[in-house]
Amino acid sequence: MARFQYTARDSAGALVKGALDAASRKEAIRLIGLRDLYPVSLTDGGGGAATKKKPPAKNKDSTSREKRSEARTTSTAEKKRSPPAAGAGDFSKLGPRHALSFLRSLSELISSGMPVGDAVRLLSVRLKDPKLRQLAGFLWEQVSSGQSISEAMAELPDTFEESSVHLIRAGEATGNLEEILRRLVGYYENRNALRSKVTNALAYPVFVILVAIGVIVFFIYFLFPRMETLFDSLGGNIPAATQLLIDSSEFLMTYGIFILAGGIVLGLSFWQWRRTPKGRLKTDQWLLKIPALRDFIIVSDVLQISQTLSALLENGVTTVEALKMTENVIRNQAIRESFSEARGMVVEGTSISGALQATGHFPDLVLDMLDVGENTGNIVPSLKEITRLYQDRLTRHLQLFTAFLSIGVLITAVVFVAFIAFAIFTAVFQLSGSF
């Protein structure tokens, strides 16, 4: 038997410390659960009554066995502290969308009064999605070995974001895990709804562009070569518009594959350069110089910042730590670097509104609302109001952007088809009139 020192929380959320004798860590956790306590930490406090006896003399074989046992124990502990390998169980395929599904199920069970450990164990058995069941199984393995749920989640950084882990750790410390999980699920759902809104808004213009490209390719590579043969057989002078289309078709049929290959090489080269820190920063700076895109990018990033920062501050994360974690959700690298500089100014004592104003990227309305929140001593309501306003503003930007893009693509396609029809009919009429 070994003696374990434990720190746990009772049903009211109060911290309870104690010690007990158990054969293993799992047995100790089970005994703590039988006392209606939720374990926060569990350490081996030394041997129990049996360990007070004087140990027998050790021979070389027993010493060697103990060293091998200690080496295995150390290796196991190091393995638990390090993230699971990407190949082991395909944890690399678990992403934020799995985190939302898991947290939603966990929140529902905890809201019904089930302890977090039992909830994770139940999910590891009951979830139907193999990936989610694998995720819950890994977390249950860590929790059953004495880790807290936040420590277990921290070992899967590709699935659970740093800000989410901090929030859950704060919920464990304050005994308010149920409320924090509910807010965290709401935050994830709002963010996913925003991404879905952007994707859906771009779906129609992309479809129209692909159709227009298909029409152009059909005319150039299939229709014009046959019409050129017909015109040659009829003889006579071909109108200038028709000749332009025929020459363009011949040029693209001869050199089109080389132009396409060159475009692909240039595109891949540009994409690889953009993936570098310097390339990402430079291209994001270029995007901010395009008036139509600048407003859209700023509105999108301001919305991400206000959503994340309000969720973190509302749940007890310190201002400096919350700003550090919020920096990771900013997509535009130029704005992120400016935000990082502003965070340094806040650490030195500057107000958040004053620091963000120095970046030159944030609208006056946002700065004024943050200033009001700081002056009243509660910035969270101001951040929530900014989130509400900028959600509506982003929706309007998306509607305008998709409308202009769709109309522009349609007009371009209609003009091109009309020009083709004009060139064909004028050629037919002119050649038929020559007989």
Residue 400 lies in a domain: yes
* Antiparallel, parallel or unpaired: β 38-47 and 15-22: unpaired
C-alpha distances in Å from residue 100, one per residue of 106, 154, 414: 10, 15, 44
Eight-state DSSP code of residue 317: -
Same domain, 362 and 304: yes
Element (H, E) at 96: helix 96-111
Q: What is the CATH number of the domain that holds 242?
A: 1.20.81.30
Residue 66 lies in a domain: no
Model pTM score = 0.60
Tens-digit pLDDT profile for residues 13-40: 567 788 888 887 777 777 777 777 766 6
Residue 72 lies in a domain: no
Q: Which domain holds residue 95?
A: 91-160
> Facing residues of 21 across strands?
3
Same domain, 23 and 97: no
Residue 73 lies in a domain: no
Tens-digit pLDDT profile for residues 322-366: 888 888 778 889 999 999 999 899 888 888 889 998 888 888 888
Same domain, 279 and 425: yes
Q: What local confidence, expressed as pLDDT, does residue 268 receive?
A: 94
**147 or 64, greater pLDDT:** 147
Same domain, 13 and 129: no
Torsion of CA 360, 363, 368, 370, to 10 degrees: -80
Residue 181 lies in a domain: no
- Of 105, 113, 94, nearest in space to 38 by CA: 113
How many domains does one find in the chain?
A: 3
**Can you tell me the mean pLDDT for 383-396?**
86
- Of 35, 34, 32, 39, nearest in space to 15 by CA: 39
Same domain, 303 and 366: yes
Q: What is the CATH number of the domain that holds 22?
A: 3.10.20
Here the tokens at position 366 are 């946002």
**Can you tell me the mean pLDDT for 278-284?**
91
Same domain, 229 and 327: yes
Taking 3-state DSSP, the helix, strand and coil percentages for the chain, each rounded to the nearest 5, stand at 75, 5, 20
Same domain, 397 and 284: yes
Same domain, 268 and 412: yes
Same domain, 219 and 342: yes
Residue 148 lies in a domain: yes
Same domain, 405 and 281: yes
Same domain, 13 and 151: no
Residue 83 lies in a domain: no
3-class secondary-structure state, position 59:
coil
Q: What local confidence, expressed as pLDDT, does residue 271 receive?
A: 92
| CA atoms of 387 and 304, how far apart (whole Å) | 8
